[in-house]
Amino acid sequence: MDMTYEKVKVVIAGASGMVGREFARLLAGHPWFDVASLCGVTTAGKSYEMVWNEKENQLKNAYPLVWKKAVFPEQYRDWQIEYINVRGLREKNVRIAFSALQNTKDTEDLEQKLADNGIKVFSNVGCMRMWEMIPLIIGEVNPLDMHLVEQQPWYKRGGHIVKNANCTTIGLVPFLHVISRNFGLKGIEVVTMQALSGKGDDAYNSEEIIGNTYTFIKGEEDKVATEPHKIMHNGLFEIKVKCNRVYVQNGHLEDVFFETIKETSEEEVKEALRNFRNPLTDRLPSSPDKLFYVIERDGGPQQKIDVNNGRGMAISVGDFKQYSKKEFFASLVSHNLVRGAAGASIQNAELALSMGYV
C-alpha cells in the first residue's frame, strides 16, 4: 500500500498557544503536510519566535521547579503570526486548518466558516465535539467514524470538521476500548493527576499549585464521563471520574479501577494491550511504534519517565492489581499535548488523507 502523498498545505490557527506551539513543532518537516501560515488573534503581526520565547519564559517563571523551555523550531525563524483570513488561505491553496483556538462562540463560527469555504478543519477545540454529525476521532479506536463528515453541510463545498477528544479522554479511551472488546466492560472509576500544561498558557498562582494538588478543573469531569461513549459507541458502562491538577510539566496520570463482564486475569489484560493494532493507523507518520507500553517496574508508569514513549503518542500502562476475576486496577500515563492534543489532530488528518477525505 503506497503511503506517500504530494504535500498538502496547512495552516495552524491559534499557533501561539500551548497546543498551537505543539502543532508547529510536530508539523516542522512533516512528510505529508507543509505549513503555509501561522495564524492567531491577539498575537497577529508579531514575530513567532518572539511570542514563543515570551510565553515560554512566562511559564518558566510561573513554574520554576519543573518547567523546561521548548526548543523553537528553526523552520519558523523569520515567520510572523498572521490574521486568520479565509480568502487569503484559499489563495495560498491551504486545504487543512489545524485549530488550537480558544473554546468560544467566535471559534465555533470561524471553524464553520473555514469548512464552508472548502477547508478541512482538524480541531482540538471543545466546541461541537458532541454534535452528531461531527466525528470525534481517536484514530486507533474509531477511524471509520470519519465517514460522518459526509453528513455535514460543508462537505458538498469541499470542507468538513473533525474533532479530537479532551486530552484526558484520549489517554483513557484506547485502554477502555481494548478492555471492552476483549473482556466486556461493566464500569470504571478513574482519578486523574493532570499536568500544568493542560491548563494552556494561563498559569496558576504559585500559592494555588506549588506544594498542592489543585482539585478543580472546570468542565473536565463531565467531558471524561461523556466523550468515551460517543467514541466507543457504547453507553452501557458507567464512568465515575475525579480530576486533579498536579505540579508536573507534561503528562496526565490516570488511576483506573475497572470491572469486566467476562472473567479474566491480569496477564490476559496485559497481553491484549501488547497485541493491540489497528491497520488503518499503523502506518501513519504520527502513529507510535506501538500504542501501549506495558510498564512492569514497581509503581507502574510515571509522568517524568514515560511521557515521551512512542514520541509522545503512546499510552503507558502498568501497576496492575487484580481484586477478583472481574475487578482490576491499572495506571495510565499519556502526553497531554501530543497524544492528548496536537498529535491526535495531526494523526486524524493523516487518517483522513489516507481514507480519501482530504
What is the secondary structure of 242-309 as a DSSP string? EEEE-S-SS-EEEEEEEEESS---HHHHHHHHHH---TTTTTSTTS-S-SEEEE-STT---HHHHTTG
**Grid coordinates in use for 219?**
468542565
Q: Residue written as cell 484526558?
A: 168
CB neighbour class for 85 (10 Å; exposed up to 12, middle 13-18, buried from 19): middle
* Torsion-angle region of 300 (φ positive above 0: left; ψ -120 to 50: alpha; else: beta): left
CA distance 254 to 249: 15
Query: Is the torsion defined by CA of 206, 209, 215, 218 positive or negative?
Result: positive
Residues identified as active-site: 167, 252
Residues for the chain: how many in total? 358
CB 168 within 8 A of CB 192: yes
Residue type, 331: S
Q: Do 196 and 245 touch, CB atoms closer than 8 A?
A: yes
What phi and psi values does residue 353 have, to the nearest 5 degrees? -65, -45
CA distances from 210 to 54, 193, 198, 230, 248 (A): 22, 14, 16, 36, 10
Looking at residue 142, what DSSP letter applies? -
Which long-range contacts does 303-306 make (Cβ < 8 Å, 24+ apart)?
Answer: 303/193, 303/195, 303/248, 303/250, 303/251, 303/252, 303/253, 303/333, 304/248, 304/251, 306/251, 306/333
Give the three-class secondary structure for 239: strand
Segment holding 12, helix H or strand E: strand 8-13
Query: Rounded distance, CA 155 to CA 150, Å?
Result: 6
